[in-house]
Amino acid sequence: MLNDEELVAQSKVGNLEAFSELVERYQKLVYTIAYRFLGDYEDACDAAQEAFVRAFTRLHTFKGDCSFKTWLCHIVANVCRDELRRYKRHPQVFWDDGPVAETDLNPQFILPEEALAAKEDEILLQNLLNCLPPEFRAVVVMRDIQGFSYEEIASQLGCSLGTVKSRLNRARKYLKEGYLRAREFASGAGVAAAGKGEEI
Amino acid sequence: MNCQEAQDLFSPYLDGELKPRQKRELEDHINRCRQCVEDLTSLHLAVAAIRSLQETELFPPPQLKARVCGRIKAITRYRRLSLYLTWAAGAVAVLLLTVALNITFSQESQVQSRPGVQEHTPLQAVPPHEEVMAPQAPQVMKQGSKVAGDLGAVQKSEAPPRSQDAKAVQEKRGAPKGQPGEQRLQSGVLPVGVPARKSSQPTLIFALSLFFLVLAFLSWFWWRRIRGFGP
């Protein structure tokens, strides 16, 4: 089996099969990251497709300074960020970079009940991410899911290191509150269900 | 350090992004504050939960790869086409430009080598037949060959009024009677219609070459824009 570098080299000279193999290898990763950013399966599929096509058209700029996987992750993040800018479908509360009002930090104000009622942790966490404003969601996904450094995030988003730190801090506080509330909600529902069971 | 200041540092603390002095101060505060310990622990739990999403890979729809490959093939095709179009349009533009320049220069050199053209412009009103045909008869006759004599006789018999008209025109201008055709060719008199071509034909060809040049540039621009693989 050929490694990434060999496949990239072959792709650069026009071997479509080689690029197809790269798509096969990374489609899960790209699709998953796109879904974490966008929170919608159909949009994630479109974004993944766009990311691969963008990677293909810019393959000549890939000099091998980092791994192909890292380079591809940067492209997915860019595509999803562009998509998030156009995202107007979900109701969101947008925070500015100034001091956060108390109401903005209160998950009760933003989080819908159904977001907290998810039984699986993965769905609950995705629901929480979806409730974040786009610029905050992008920072959390890039840091905690893609594993980028603060400097890389700042460079990709075109903002200062301080802004990245501030956004990450506030987004995590919000996620923590939501996560704790969901756990209480789940334990409350569990207790209620147990109570109902006893009555029956 | 108070609790608010400490909480602002929790996130970079979990990422290991604090400076040593900040880290030491925060840890000193945490050791003294029970509430901050609880807050830091719950934040750590939430961040760990979010990070656990890394391990969950989703299965993309089966058509994703086919869609990507389809788009890539289309791009490659367009790219190749635009490259061919660039070369073809560029070649046609160069060819047309050469032809247009050639015509322009040849006309200019004709005009320069025959300064009398301007003087003879009133003659342009005379039809071309009268310019070219009329002088041939006496010339051919002069050579004395039998065939030439016959042809001259035929021409004479076919078009006597034209040669007479031409002679009349020559006489009007004061040209020598002996060899009217030679005199006229030497003085650079062009048949009717040539001056009109001189002005419109090269311009048209220049315009066409410009069109192909623009087409070549646009297709080259498109090729650059969608370039991915080698040609």
How distant is the Cα of B211 from the closest Cα of chain A, in angstroms? Answer: 29
Burial category of B72 from C-beta neighbours within 10 Å (exposed 0-12, middle 13-18, buried 19 and up): buried
Is B8's Cβ below 8 Å from some Cβ in A?
A: yes
pLDDT in tens, B75-109: 888 888 888 888 998 999 898 888 888 888 887 77
More reliable by pLDDT, B39 or B126:
B39
Measured between beta carbons, which residues in chain A are less than 8 angstroms from residue B53? 36, 122, 125-126, 144-145
Mutate to test the interface with B, among A172, A174, A180 (most CBs of B within 10 A): A172
Question: Which chain A residue lies closest to B225 (C-alpha atoms)?
Answer: A57
CA atoms of A46 and A83, how far apart (whole Å)? 10
Which range among A152-166, B32-46, B47-61, B171-185 shows the weakest confidence by mean pLDDT?
A: B171-185
Quote the crossing angle between the two packed helices B128-143 and B160-173, to the nearest 10°.
100
Q: Is B16 left (phi over 0), alpha (psi -120 to 50) or beta?
A: left
**Cβ(A48)–Cβ(A34) below 8 Å:** yes
Q: Which residues of A21-42 are buried (b: 16+ CB within 10 A; e: fewer)?
A: bbbebbbebbbbbbbbbbbbee
Mutate to test the interface with A, among B36, B50, B226 (most CBs of A within 10 A): B50
Question: Which chain B residue lies closest to A42 (C-alpha atoms)?
Answer: B61
How many contacts (CB atoms, under 8 Å) link A and B?
122
**Cβ(A116)–Cβ(A178) below 8 Å:** yes
Q: Is B61 left (phi over 0), alpha (psi -120 to 50) or beta?
A: beta
Contact call for B72 and A24, based on CB within 8 A: no
| Structural domains of chain A ordered from first start | 1-102 (1.10.1740.10), 105-200 (1.10.10.10)
Model pTM greater than 0.80?
no
pLDDT of residue B206: 85
Is B44's Cβ below 8 Å from some Cβ in A?
A: no
Instruction: Please determine, for residue B47, whether its predicted confidence score (pLDDT) is greater than 50.
Output: yes
Residues 6+ apart with CB under 8 A from A128: A111, A115, A174, A175, A178, A179, A182
What is the gyration radius of the CA atoms in chain B, in angstroms?
45
Mutate to test the interface with A, among B8, B56, B68 (most CBs of A within 10 A): B68
Measured between beta carbons, which residues in chain A are less than 8 angstroms from residue B67? 49
How distant is the Cα of B3 from the closest Cα of chain A, in angstroms? Answer: 14
pLDDT tens for chain A, 200 residues: list them: 788 888 988 888 878 889 999 999 999 999 999 999 988 899 999 999 999 999 988 888 888 888 899 999 999 999 998 888 876 555 444 444 443 444 454 444 455 565 565 567 788 888 888 888 888 888 999 999 888 899 989 988 888 888 999 899 989 988 888 888 887 776 766 555 545 444 43
pLDDT of residue A183: 78
Go through chain A and tell me how many residues it has.
200
Nearest residue to A118 via CA among A110, A108, A126: A126
Is B37's Cβ below 8 Å from some Cβ in A?
A: no
Mutate to test the interface with B, among A16, A20, A56, A97 (most CBs of B within 10 A): A56
Cα angle A28, A31, A37; round to 5 = 140
Cα angle A129, A147, A162; round to 5 = 80
**Cβ(A171)–Cβ(A140) below 8 Å:** yes
Query: Looking at residues B48-61, what average pLDDT do you find?
Result: 87
Contact call for B57 and A59, based on CB within 8 A: no
CB count within 10 Å of CB B113 equals 9
Question: Which chain A residue lies closest to B71 (C-alpha atoms)?
Answer: A53
**Average pLDDT of the residues of chain B:** 71
CA atoms of A88 and B134, how far apart (whole Å)? 87
Measured between beta carbons, which residues in chain B are less than 8 angstroms from residue A32? 56-58
Is B12's Cβ below 8 Å from some Cβ in A?
A: yes
